[in-house]
Amino acid sequence: MTKIIGLTGGIGSGKSTVANYIASKGIPVYIADEEAKKIMEREDVKQKIQNLFSDSVLNPDNSLNRKKIAEFVFNNPEKLKELNAIVHPEVQLHFKNWVKEHENFPYIIKEVAILFETGGNKQCDKVILITAPEELRIERAMKRDNVTKKDILVRINNQLPESKKKELSDFIIENINLSNTFLKIDEILKILAKL
């Protein structure tokens, strides 16, 4: 049976870069956040999301205003929970079907930012954690998302502490130097091929 390998890491850790590197090796990689964004734009799902909020969360072109939604939910844990209750089951179902399409591979990678927070690690055979010093993560995320340090800290504080993630992971990569990170990934992929 195809093994499910979780790939996770806090904001600015570099997990997307690692996911792209693994995909370049011909290994199927499921990017949960990307798939969730697509699913959230489905009319049925979009309607459920709009019903959560008293103000409109739609742009003039009828797409979701993600910035507005983020502002609502990041300071309101209850709304975030309700939003996740709509989106996560849909993503789970999509992922299950995706795994079936790739069952001829010995393992696949599931890249999820909040793998532990959603209990998704329980469905993984192994978990790879990408980490980096907090200051470096903040710097990367500020550059990438063009947001303030305060915005990044809010997101970091909404995620499980790094120390807890490390306890729950099978492989931990400190992503400071990309070529070293890729070497470590190559070693891990060799181990995974023998599972």
Which residues are annotated binding-site positions for ATP? 12-17
C-alpha dist (Å) from residue 25 to 6, 14, 22, 108, 125: 17, 17, 5, 12, 20
Inter-residue contact 13 to 133 (CB < 8 Å): no
Greatest C-alpha distance within the chain: 52
DSSP letter at 170? Answer: S
**Residues 73-80: contacts with CB under 8 Å, at least 24 apart:** 74/154, 74/155, 74/158, 75/154, 79/52, 79/53, 80/158
Binding residues: 12-17
Residue 108: strand pairing partners: 4
Inter-residue contact 90 to 38 (CB < 8 Å): no
Decide: helix, strand or coil at residue 4.
Answer: strand
